[in-house]
Structure 1
Amino acid sequence: MAAGSVEAGAGAGASDRELVAARELDAPRDLVWTAWSEPTHVARWWGPRGFTNTVEHMDVRPGGAWRFVMHGPDGTDFRNEMRYVEVVSPERIVMDHVSGPNFRMTVTFAERGGRTTVTVRMTFESAAERDRAVEQFHADVGLRENLDKLGEYLGATTAARPPEEMVVTRVLDAPRPVVFEAWARPEHLARWWGPRGFTLSSCSIDFRPGGAYRMVMRGPDGADYPFHGVYREIVPPARIVFSAVIGPGPGNAVRTVVTFEEEGWKTRLTVRQTVPAMEGAARGQRQGWTESLERLADDLAALG
């Protein structure tokens, strides 16, 4: 599943202030990125062996904070806080550990023919600080075990995830900027999002790359279906990419790519979405999106 090593010292490809580790993972880059950027996934693999996590807050954008508690095998809690400096999906994450010991962590994701090489570089304020982190906190062992656990987690996740992708296309009788706008504002989404008979009872979106959203669909029987995610890419009026967490457990985060293509005065809208691992979820996935796009077409027609 994974192979790699932890390096320390200039002679091993790292400066005397750094620890560096790399792993080649048998998983596509988008999935590896999701494992680093979605709290439901990070909580399941982060930390050395024997540790578990409680993620209290995770805002994956420059200036955003990640606060979590690592629970040690002996019951000791270790509070941590990271501050995101740079986020370039799905290529690079830079974050500062500000709760001691202080260091900058730079993570890069390189695609290798369906596999992904993850490189983690921890840069401390001085060589003495790096040595103290190794001696007192076993940072070198923790870094190695952290990537080992990531590889093991992704192995379980990819095994559970069907490889197929769901694709739905519809030509809408409206110009591309108008169709794009229907995806960009909560008041527009509330008019058409969801299958027939469903309403969008709650819709909060931060429509920008790195922005989060939370929605609740309400079914005809009154049951609520909450979901949330992050906008990964927004290119007006051509493309939107976002993640969605639709249920607990590994394999239940999906990636959706929406493209908008001009066809004269009309717009060809295509939705591509990975198939979730939740049992039975794929059965209604295509029908749900088909009916949602039918409602979008009705809404655009009503707007004239």
Structure 2
Amino acid sequence: MTSNFNPDGMLAAARDPAKGRFATLTFERDVAAPLSVLWQTWTAPAARAVWSAPTPSVIVEFLEADSGVGGREVSLCKVEGQPNIRCECGWLEWQPALRSVNYEVVSSEGVTQSTALVTADFSGTDERSRLVVTVQLSSLADGMEVGYRQGLDAGLDNLARAAKRTMVLQRVIQAPRTTVWNTWMNPEALPQWWGPDGFSCRTKRIDLRTDGEWVFDMIAPDGTVFPNHHLYTEVRPEERIGYTLLWGENGPKHADAWASFEDQNGATKVTLGMVFSTEAEFRQAKGFGAVELGLQTLGKLERFIKTRGNAAA
């Protein structure tokens, strides 16, 4: 683990432009998580926001995030008292659970400091996975190679830890993406199907938009009440939702979550991901059957669509 990342040194280097420098950097990580989970942790914007800051003293603010070939991600790396570092990432190749390729342009105060081509290769099984990241770096500022190596080393350590507490559920629903999206984002329909078999929802407030919220109780078949609070951080129509799960209204954070929607030959592949706040919470959730219960929830969504059709939308 690299805990000596020095943002001040990187920022100082960014203010000392020099002739171009070139380097090829390689990073490898063995991760105690399934390959499908590692891929989602690497690519899903909600997950990237969890692990991308190399140290707690660095704040990464995402201004734009569009996954997939042709998509772009723009973020600001902020350190108190220092100029912001801007990073623009563009996805060039996208082979799920196999490979991603992207360019990166790093700038400070409007001046480009480096460009890079980043190739990530994935391999693994249902138990463990491996990530190899190759960075072809061209820097215009002294010290960028060292800063890049330290920053990405620390970020990948964070990624490996985040993947160990990430849960990913997927289901192909036999309905068009528009129908699935509209059923999910309908404030009257969502409480009717959300939750595992036998559970019901009691809503206090619901506002399904970016910066909106859903405050509700999940009620188990035996009458046990589980207070929930979802804070919506991102809503991209028919593409994905990002939200934070709280333990009850304004309670402590339970997980950072997302749902994505992909066309699949007229059907819709739904991916539901959650990065739990701690490994202990992840283990506890897995222990009481969160995977099975989450898949039941997606099954209820499909049954609701089949029985209600477009009326829910």
Tell me which interval the TM-score lies in, with the shorter structure as reference length: 0.5 to 0.7
Give the match for residue 116 of structure 1. 130
Deviations 1:7-50 (A, max 9, x none): xxxxxxxxx73332221331444444444444554455446667
Sequence identity percentage: 12
1:95 Cα deviation after fit: 2.6
Deviations 1:54-81 (A, max 9, x none): 3141323435341312317xx4243313
Query: Which of 233, 247, 269 is matched with 2:245 structurally?
Result: 247
Using the alignment, how far apart are the partners of 1:153 and 1:43 within structure 2? 11
Normalised TM-score (structure 1): 0.57
Give the match for residue 192 of structure 1. 189
Give the match for residue 96 of structure 1. 104
Using the alignment, how far apart are the partners of 2:37 and 2:56 within structure 1? 24
Using the alignment, how far apart are the partners of 1:252 and 1:181 within structure 2? 25
Using the alignment, how far apart are the partners of 1:89 and 1:246 within structure 2? 28
Amino acid at match of 1:296: I
Task: Please state whether the residue corresponding to 1:24 is helix, strand or coil.
Answer: strand
**Residues 51 and 198 of structure 1, relative CA distance in 2, 3 Å threshold:** same
Using the alignment, how far apart are the partners of 1:275 and 1:98 within structure 2? 29
Amino acid at match of 2:245: G
Using the alignment, how far apart are the partners of 1:23 and 1:227 within structure 2? 34
Tell me the C-alpha RMSD between the 2 structures. Answer: 4.8
**Residues 150 and 25 of structure 1, relative CA distance in 2, 3 Å threshold:** farther
**Residues 154 and 54 of structure 1, relative CA distance in 2, 3 Å threshold:** closer
Amino acid at match of 1:25: D
1:122 Cα deviation after fit: 3.3
**Residues 98 and 293 of structure 1, relative CA distance in 2, 3 Å threshold:** same
**Residues 65 and 160 of structure 1, relative CA distance in 2, 3 Å threshold:** closer
Amino acid at match of 2:85: R
Give the alignment of 1:13-92 within 5 angstroms.
17-26=22-31, 27-46=33-52, 51-61=57-67, 62=70, 64-71=72-79, 75-86=81-92, 88=94, 90=96, 91-92=99-100
Deviations 1:111-140 (A, max 9, x none): 14432223232342xxxxx3x53xx2x222
Amino acid at match of 2:276: A
Task: Please state whether the residue corresponding to 1:76 is helix, strand or coil.
Answer: coil
Using the alignment, how far apart are the partners of 2:104 and 2:310 within structure 1? 49
Normalised TM-score (structure 2): 0.56
Using the alignment, how far apart are the partners of 1:20 and 1:271 within structure 2? 35
1:89 Cα deviation after fit: 5.3
2:207 corresponds to 1:182: no
8 Å Cα contact 1:201-1:217 kept in structure 2: yes
Using the alignment, how far apart are the partners of 1:77 and 1:167 within structure 2? 41
8 Å Cα contact 2:46-2:256 kept in structure 1: no
Amino acid at match of 2:308: D
Task: Please state whether the residue corresponding to 1:101 is helix, strand or coil.
Answer: strand
Using CA pairs under 8 Å that are at least 6 residues apart, name the structure with larger relative contact order, 1 or 2: 2
Give the match for residue 9 of structure 2. none
8 Å Cα contact 1:202-1:215 kept in structure 2: yes
Amino acid at match of 2:134: V
Task: Please state whether the residue corresponding to 1:146 is helix, strand or coil.
Answer: helix
1:277 Cα deviation after fit: 3.2
Gapped runs of 5+ residues in structure 1? 3-15, 125-129, 171-175, 205-212, 235-240
Using the alignment, how far apart are the partners of 2:85 and 2:38 within structure 1? 25
2:152 corresponds to 1:144: no
